[in-house]
Amino acid sequence: MHYIINAQPMDVIADPRTSLLDMLRDNLGLMGTKKGCNQGACGACTVLVDGERINACLALAVQYEGREITTVEGLSGGSDALHPLQSAFIEHDGFQCGYCTPGQLCSAIGMLGKIERGVPSAVTADLSAETMALDHDELRERMSGNLCRCGAYNGIAEAITKVHAKVPA
Q: Please, which residues have CB within 8 angstroms of residue 86's CB and are 6 or more apart in sequence?
A: 75, 76, 105
- DSSP-derived secondary structure letter, 57: G
Does 8 participate in binding other proteins (rule CB under 8 A)?
Answer: no
Task: List phi, psi (to 5°) of 118.
Answer: 75, 25
Strand partners, 169: none
- Min separation Cβ 43 and other proteins, Å: 9
Which of 51, 77, 98, 118 is in the footprint of other proteins by CB under 8 A? Answer: 98
CA 119, CA 71: separation in Å to the nearest integer? 23
Residue 161 found at the interface with other proteins (CB under 8 A): no
By residue count, the chain amounts to 169
Rounded least distance, CB 73 to other proteins, Å: 6
Among 99, 114, 116, 134, binds other proteins (CB under 8 A): 99
- Which residue ranges make up the site for other proteins (CB under 8 A)? 15, 17-18, 22, 25-26, 29-42, 44, 71-73, 76, 82, 86-87, 89-91, 93, 95-102, 105, 137, 139-141, 143-157
